[in-house]
Structure 1
């Protein structure tokens, strides 16, 4: 079998990928040649602060370059009528009262696409050059044992995904948190956009209570996307539903983020097998966050539609 040209880390700056960077830098795992952070342009300030600290205290002393790549600013692009809209997984309230959710395209556009572009450059075959068979990188992906079902390979031959937390360490998310805590990184944040609709109530409260400027930002954005994306509106597309950031489908500034409503609780109790999982997601958000190679948006859901919001 051919050997990889390079060993790289897909660095989201969340719990699992931060753990992999530290394990590599400290010699517990082999040294990666690069760590690539895909910046959506709308990460929480805490993520940028953590990334700066990772680079200065962990990566640089070990000689691991941290490469920051981007396809643009997701917030600005979503409100720009001249920009093609890569839809976020927005909650929809249809005209007839039915509920839905838009397709999740943002991870592919703002995470996977710039990483692939950077990998091509590292290999010396920038797009649209054809990469010869057998030329590839080994890409480390931060997936722990509690989410092993999301471990899969990349969709291109020049990137081979590897999952060291599962294969080499047999570590869960709890193990990762313990390790980071031992390094003084107990405050490692969850990696996701500031206005990600997959936030749980605890995450929304944290923004509201600890970062007033960021809270004002997401409330303003939530209001701005109510009538669909800017390009669809500019083109006169017929709007089939209203868009919201919070799963309650009410304006974010009025959303019930301090408690579980009676209707939500009843819905949780309707299916006892999944009630616990749903309750945890309601409060803590989706556990996998926005990992480029483990996002639930890669799993086809035929019930999702554009609802007149995307063009």
Structure 2
């Protein structure tokens, strides 16, 4: 959408906003820098980078209230569960709303007057039209230009390829649990430092929320980044045994196991927007 606004296909926008969780892959930050220099600046479109903090550091800080990631849980009785997904709201939507209020001239706790609003573009293609939804606040009205254009994901890829941006990476946390095996392999095989980082984080969250542990409320089970619920360094990201595949059948299909959930981590169309599993845990794993 930024490129379409820059080349005149879509109206020129006032701002583009990137919500930074602090733990994106290096490739995402490099791509953002390139977009800013080659696309946004020549078109006179400022890119605003907003943040609520570093999600990785916050997760391991016992003094910080952590908005939980959707981690895979292995309960003591052997049953599977997941922690609730709060990270999108805390690290994406919240800082964007804060910046929008500032741009409108009504920072929190000021009330935004009725009739004062921004039109916010959300990049949902026709393949995922069911994800289009309102912002939830009156001062932000979500629009979906790709739906208006009738563009599919393939149309977007062809357009980006013509611009020399075919290598556009997915925006998601380095340690996002919605990665597929192909994404985990890509990190392991192409970026040893980032692989060491996610392996260390996976080990660090095994007992759950650092704050909960510090206050004597440890996780009722064990937490993992990989669907197999084994340490990431040992997870079957190169192949899956028949027994593992059978155990995972209720959770995902073959494409998701390999490629991950196809949608990127957009504030209003999080890749994890799916029904919660039966066994859900609050506060990084405490039983709901």
**TM-score (ref. length: structure 1):** 0.88
Which residue of structure 2 lines up, in the alignment, with residue 223 of structure 1? 203
Q: C-alpha displacement at 1:241, in angstroms? A: 1.2
Instruction: Give the unaligned 5+ runs of structure 1.
Output: 1-19
What aligned pairs does 1:111-130 form with structure 2 within 5 A after superposition?
111-130=92-111
Residue 109 (1) aligns with residue 85 (2)? no
Distance, in Å, in 1 between the alignment partners of 2:197 and 2:82 is 22
Alpha-carbon separation, structure 1, partners of 2:139 and 2:274 = 22
The answer to whether structure 1 residue 73 and structure 2 residue 57 are counterparts is no
Q: Distance between the aligned counterparts of 2:271 and 2:226, measured in 1? A: 18
Alignment CA distance shift 1:299-1:132 (3 Å): farther
What RMSD over aligned residues (CA atoms) do the two structures have, in Å? 1.8
2:33 aligned with 1:52: yes
Note the residue ranges of structure 2 that are not aligned, 5 or more in a row.
none
Offset at residue 302 of structure 1 (A): 6.6
How far did residue 301 of structure 1 move?
2.7
Measured against aligned partners, the alpha-carbon deviations of 1:108-149 in whole angstroms (never above 9, x if no partner) come to: 000000000000001000000000011000000011111111
Q: What residue in structure 2 maps to residue 306 of structure 1?
A: 282
State how 1:193-272 maps to structure 2 within 5 Å: 193-266=173-246
CA separation of 1:145 and 1:165: change in aligned 2, threshold 3 A: same
Q: Deviations over 1:183-227 (max 9, x none)?
A: 000110011000000000000000000000000000000000001
Q: CA deviation at 1:310?
A: 5.6
Give TM-score scaled by structure 2 length.
0.95
Structure 1 residue 266, shift from structure 2 partner: 2.9
**Cα distance in 2, alignment partners of residues 108 and 223 from structure 1:** 25
Counterpart CA distance in 1 for 2:255 and 2:96 is: 31
Per mean C-alpha deviation after superposition, the further-off stretch among 27-36 and 294-303 is 294-303
- For the 8 Å contact 2:69–2:284, the answer to whether it is kept is no
Q: CA deviation at 1:180?
A: 0.4
User: What is the CA–CA distance in structure 2 between the aligned matches of 1:297 and 1:281, rounded to whole Å?
Assistant: 12
Indicate the larger mover: 293-302 or 48-57.
293-302
